[in-house]
């Protein structure tokens, strides 16, 4: 089922989300619906607050570009991207590493706005799957960026908050439709 993606200005996007303490049928169904919604919107990630649920759950699928990472380790083992995509993850903990890389980002909750965002190039993410498995994922490239973007959502942070002052000025007019009238 397609879910409504909330847009900039909705207070849920600024909430620090609550941990998922139990994987229920509702959570499993929500994950399936989030994936369907993300694919329909042509996204590579979607966090629960973007569909008005303030819980620490997100989905990512970057398998459309198998060259988008240089390395991927899951629990210390080299892993093929297709082995973990799509990924539904709960209660992530994020460690950042590597030089900062600037890439253009957009957000399904800020439609039509794209801007350059500097982020660390390597991440280590510890998270739980719907099956209760704990994963420790180390990666770079688009997957590392997607993790950072979606985990930011779980902390009430938007990619706009990561922009340089010059980038904020450059997109100011694009943000007008999201301003309260």
What residues are labeled active site?
150
d(CA 94, CA 50): 20
What phi and psi values does residue 87 have, to the nearest 5 degrees? Answer: -115, 125
CA angle at 111 for the pair 142 and 99, rounded to the nearest 5°: 30
Whole-Å CA distances, 96 to 99, 101, 125: 10, 12, 9
Q: How far is CA 68 from CA 63, 91, 145, 171, in A?
A: 8, 24, 10, 26
Buried b (16+ CB within 10 A) or exposed e, 65-77: eeebeeebebeee
3-state secondary structure of 34: helix
Do residues 71 and 139 touch, judged by C-beta distance below 8 A? yes
């Amino acid at each position: 089922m397609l879910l409504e993606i909330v847009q900039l200005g909705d207070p849920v996007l600024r909430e620090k989300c609550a941990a998922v303490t139990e994987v229920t049928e509702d959570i499993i169904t929500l994950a399936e619906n989030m994936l369907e919604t993300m694919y329909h919107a042509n996204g590579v990630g979607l966090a629960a607050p973007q569909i008005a649920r303030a819980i620490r759950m997100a989905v990512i699928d970057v398998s459309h570009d198998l060259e988008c990472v240089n390395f991927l380790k899951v629990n210390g083992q080299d892993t093929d991207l297709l082995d973990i995509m799509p990924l539904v993850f709960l209660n992530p903990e994020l460690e950042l590493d590597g030089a900062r890389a600037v890439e253009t980002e957009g957000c399904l909750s800020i439609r039509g706005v794209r801007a350059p965002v500097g982020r660390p190039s390597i991440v280590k993410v510890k998270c739980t799957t719907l099956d209760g498995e704990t994963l420790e994922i180390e990666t770079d490239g688009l997957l590392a960026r997607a993790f950072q973007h979606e985990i930011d959502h779980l902390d009430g942070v938007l990619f706009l908050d990561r922009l340089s002052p010059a980038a904020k000025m450059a997109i100011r007019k694009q943000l007008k439709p999201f301003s309260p009238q």
